[in-house]
Amino acid sequence: MQVILCMATTVNGYIAKENNETPWSDVVWDSYYKIAKQFKAIILGRRTYEIMKGVNEFEKIGSPFTVVVSKEDFAHDSNFAIAKSPREALKMLKEKNFTKALVAGGGMLNSSFMKEKLIDEMYLDVEPLVFGKGIKLFSDNNFDAKLELVETKRLSKNTIQLHYKVLK
Ligand SMILES: NC(=O)c1ccc[n+]([C@@H]2O[C@H](COP(=O)([O-])OP(=O)(O)OC[C@H]3O[C@@H](n4cnc5c(N)ncnc54)[C@H](OP(=O)(O)O)[C@@H]3O)[C@@H](O)[C@H]2O)c1
């Protein structure tokens, strides 16, 4: 199973403001939709899932099979599952014969996947922004990681995409 993380971030590593606002440029939203559409399965933290559901984001990314990681149980349809942990999320997807999955935030989910060394590659779209406070790309957790730069892409005059492999 290939597991890819994709995030838009400020220069100082925030993926949203404290109030969950994500003021990304059109080019970054387009980049996210383009990458997400390449995946038939997506994994989300419960908070991110609720935000995406509230703004009908799933159709824009091709309605992938969605696994929400949460300790809670809640109502869902057939294109959806709840997993109690990152490992359980991947096990569910393997059992359904998915070969790749997109990990799409937020900061808490990202850091629990990284802590367990479950991410293979990451795409970071870096906006020319600094937030003083907000949601971190990886919320506080006890892990370190080393990466290898695969590619850099200039998405616009102001925005770059960093593609990394996670060394294990
Ligand atoms: N910039 C971007 O590209 C981007 C992308 C996605 C999201 N975001 C932003 O990120 C923010 C949300 O991030 P967040 O860190 O606050 O929340 P989150 O990671 O989306 O969700 C946190 C919740 O997910 C569940 N969870 C996460 N890791 C778990 C684990 N290891 N085991 C069990 N449950 C786990 C827990 O749910 P329960 O409490 O239900 O147990 C936890 O409270 C929003 O502001 C959103 O807009 C930005």
Residue with tokens 């599952």: 81
Q: Which atom of ligand 1 is nearest to the CA of 32?
A: 3
φ, ψ dihedrals at 158, nearest 5°: -110, -10
Any ligand 1 atom below 6 A from CB of 107: yes
The CATH classification number of 2-167 equals: 3.40.430.10
Question: For 57-110, what is each residue's pLDDT tens digit?
Answer: 999 999 999 999 999 998 777 899 999 999 999 999 999 999 999 999 999 999
Residue type, 125: D
DSSP string covering 31-95, please?
Answer: HHHHHHTT-SEEEEEHHHHHHHHHTTHHHHTT--EEEEE-SS-----TTEEEESSHHHHHHHHHH
Measure 165 CA to ligand 1 centroid, in angstroms: 22
Give 76 or 27, the one with higher predicted confidence.
27
Question: For 133-158, what is each residue's pLDDT tens digit?
Answer: 999 999 999 999 999 999 999 999 99
DSSP string covering 112-162, please?
Answer: HHHHTT---EEEEEE-S---SSSEESS-S-S---EEEEEEEEE-SSS-EEE
Give 53 or 122, the one with higher predicted confidence.
122
Measure 111 CA to ligand 1 centroid, in angstroms: 9
Output the pLDDT for position 75: 74
Measure 157 CA to ligand 1 centroid, in angstroms: 30
